[in-house]
Amino acid sequence: MTKRKEDFVGVVGLGLLGRAIAARLESAGFAVVGYDRSAEAARAFEGRTSEEALRAPRIVLAVFSSSDAEQVIAASSARLYVDCTTGDPARVEALAADLAKRGIGYVEAPLSGSSDAVRRGEALMLVGGEAAGCEDLLAAISAHRVAVGAAGTAARAKLATNLVLGLNRAALAEGMAFAEALGIPRRQFLDLVRASPAASAAALAKGEKMVSGDYTPDSRIRQHLKDVRTILSASPLELPLTHAHQRLLEDAVSSGDGELDNAAIIRRWSRR
């Protein structure tokens, strides 16, 4: 496919998510230039990397937080931003309003699913804001999209789904550790869960990693801790289970597990 000038897209943030998004865009025929202030992340990217990404007419953001998104936008000159960051709803709303005043497009498009799911085009995209001018980018990244309302709404929806997702993983980990302590091997327990009403797609997606002890990341504990802190900050409710989950995640990070896959939460009960 011949790549046109208007197909030039910047992808800023080349972690697991950013690399998966870039792969989706490249497979759809877009000329992608990636950028990350981390030299290590830039080296892990198989495509072209350059600060030219900050001058792209359209930029996809896959950074760590809303603060990072704000910094990238301040340092760049796109006419439209697609923000796939799991962000802070209030900051997303403020950013969208500020950009709208300047005639700059902004669409939030956080993705629910691991980086592998994103790479396969199977992750659910939550779309907040007016998608005119970037429907082609959104379609290339995911075929599974739900428009949830104005900018800020997608951030709220993503935080709520991440709350359930994280607690599912933690519940499976605790149940597996409990079963193992009672003499039931991890593999046997996972097979039992899979055949029982306790099964959930969220938990089973990480169950194999918990059994094998291979915590090569598809998503990272450190990232989910950031999301949990954002959930608690944004919540008008007391969330006792999420507070307990936060403590588990903080313990994991302080123990050196922050860069491991979220399945490694089971190491709170076992160092395996």
pLDDT at 6 over 90: no
pLDDT at 7 over 70: no
List, in order, residues 6 or more apart from 266 with CB less than 8 Å away: 173, 176, 177, 210, 272
Query: What's the token pair of residue 244?
Result: 């307990």
DSSP 8-state symbol, 206: H
- Contact between 151 and 107 under an 8 Å Cβ cutoff? The reply is yes
pLDDT score, position 1: 40
Q: Ranked by mean pLDDT, which of 1-15, 179-193, 194-208 comes out on top?
A: 179-193
54 lies in the same domain as 182: no
31 lies in the same domain as 162: no
Report the CATH number at residue 121: 3.40.50.720
What does DSSP say about strands 32-35 and 48-49: parallel, antiparallel, or unpaired? Answer: parallel
CB-based burial label for 195 (10 Å; 0-12, 13-18, 19+): exposed
pLDDT band at 220; cut points 50, 70, 90: very high
Query: What is the number of domains present in the chain?
Result: 2
pLDDT band at 259; cut points 50, 70, 90: very high
216 lies in the same domain as 134: no
pLDDT band at 26; cut points 50, 70, 90: very high
pLDDT score, position 266: 98
- Contact between 218 and 16 under an 8 Å Cβ cutoff? The reply is yes
The CA–CA distances, whole Å, from 228 to 47, 118, 181 equal: 32, 21, 28
172 lies in the same domain as 105: no
pLDDT at 4 over 70: no
175 lies in the same domain as 212: yes
pLDDT band at 5; cut points 50, 70, 90: very low
Count CB neighbours of 218 within 10 A: 20
Domain end, chosen from 134, 150, 166, is at 150
pLDDT at 19 over 70: yes
The one-letter code for the residue type at 52 is E
Average pLDDT over every residue of 87-95: 97
165 lies in the same domain as 242: yes
Rounded-to-integer distance, Cα 26 and Cα 30, Å? 5
pLDDT at 2 over 80: no
Range of the domain at 143: 5-150
pLDDT score, position 204: 84
Domain end, chosen from 108, 130, 150, is at 150
Average pLDDT over every residue of 170-193: 97
CB-based burial label for 74 (10 Å; 0-12, 13-18, 19+): exposed
- Contact between 149 and 186 under an 8 Å Cβ cutoff? The reply is no
- Contact between 124 and 142 under an 8 Å Cβ cutoff? The reply is yes
134 lies in the same domain as 166: no
pLDDT score, position 205: 87
Rounded to the nearest integer, the mean pLDDT of the chain is 95
Domain end, chosen from 117, 134, 150, is at 150
90 lies in the same domain as 200: no
Any idea of the CA torsion for 221, 107, 157, 11, to the nearest 10 degrees?
A: -20
155-172 pLDDT, tens per residue? 999 999 999 999 999 999
Average pLDDT over every residue of 26-52: 95
Report the CATH number at residue 185: 1.10.1040.10
259 lies in the same domain as 205: yes
Query: What's the token pair of residue 163?
Result: 């709350």
H or E stretch covering 28? none
pLDDT at 72 over 60: yes
Q: Which residue has the higher pLDDT, 128 or 4?
A: 128
262 lies in the same domain as 241: yes
**Which percentage of the chain shows pLDDT scores above 90?**
93
List, in order, residues 6 or more apart from 260 with CB less than 8 Å away: 215, 217, 220, 221, 252, 267
| Distance of alpha carbon 27 from the chain centroid | 20
